Structure 1
Amino acid sequence: MVVRQAVAALALGTALQAAPARADEGFPFGLEMTLDVARQPGSKRVPTLEIDDSGEVILELWCKGGKGQFSVAGNTVIFVAGPLQDRACPPARAQADDELVAALSEAATWKRQGDFVSFIGTKLLRFRINTN
């Protein structure tokens, strides 16, 4: 009887410890994420996404900025970009911004591993969740 209670207590404790890990694996609504890439030469910026609880996203790219919307069902994701503000970007940065938005729009699935979220489509985009 004592052994059975000890095993049950251990199983319950393990389950409770595992629960937060599963919760952390959900889509990062309400959080800001930074693209996991090096800075472009001559720029201090790295693209970020700030996704609110309803899926609306604020995009701050290498040069441009704007809004969009994420819809998530299971591991499926749909991203629709809104209009982007052209901030007199140099051509190379403007093109990189457009390519990033296109890659996000082509993403069909997503996965989360700890503090990293990947959007998977024709191109893999990996973002780090800002925890500070």
Structure 2
Amino acid sequence: MLSATVFLRQVAVLPALVLAVVAFKPVSAHADEGFPFGFEMTLETAPQPGSKRLPTLEIGDNGEATLELWCKGGKGQFSVAGNTVIFVPGPLQDRSCPSARAQADDDLVAALGEAATWKRQGDLVSFIGTRPLRFRINTN
């Protein structure tokens, strides 16, 4: 009878032990290195002359993107598989910008469209193509 009692105690303790192990399982650092779906990022670059504004990119959970550039704004779509990335821009709203800013916006969208791969190092996300772009995830 003693062995049956010991067995039943061990069986009763097992679910609590499993729950404790799962609850205190260390989170993998790799989870922080995934594609930044659901985050807003700011391009690491100098502001355009006469403006403090920096381009931002917000990527939704399904890859839908909202771009707020130096002057223009618009939507697009990201598709990601491993370290491969494809960005398809949508139409941009032309907000009567100075020609230099409008051209910088068009160049930035073109560079995102030409990016073939991406990598993440902490809060920095790089899109690598003919012109590498580096964004910082907004953590504030």
- TM bin (shorter chain): 0.7 to 0.9
Q: 1:54 deviation in Å?
A: 0.4
Q: 1:16 deviation in Å?
A: 2.2
Q: 1:38 deviation in Å?
A: 1.3
The superposition leaves residues 26-85 of structure 1 with CA deviations (integer Å, 9 ceiling, x where unpaired) of 000000000001111101210000000000000000000000000000000000000000
Q: Which has the larger radius of gyration?
A: 2
Aligned sequence identity (%): 81
Give me the whole-angstrom Cα distance separating, in 2, the residues matched to 1:90 and 1:40: 11
CA RMSD of aligned residues (A): 1.0
Instruction: Give the letter aligned to residue 48 of structure 2.
Output: Q
Q: Which residue in 2 is equivalent to 1:16? A: 26
Structure 1, unaligned runs of 5 or more:
1-14
User: Does the alignment pair 1:66 with 2:74?
Assistant: yes
Instruction: Give the letter aligned to residue 108 of structure 1.
Output: A
**Any idea what SS the aligned residue of 1:16 has?**
coil
The superposition leaves residues 76-98 of structure 1 with CA deviations (integer Å, 9 ceiling, x where unpaired) of 00000000000001000000000
**What pairs with 1:1-132 in structure 2 (closer than 5 Å)?**
16=26, 19=28, 21-132=29-140
Instruction: Give the letter aligned to residue 80 of structure 2.
Output: V
Q: TM-score, normalized by length of structure 1?
A: 0.86
- Moved >2 Å (runs of 4+): none
The superposition leaves residues 13-35 of structure 1 with CA deviations (integer Å, 9 ceiling, x where unpaired) of xx826x1x210000000000000
Give me the whole-angstrom Cα distance separating, in 2, the residues matched to 1:41 and 1:91: 12
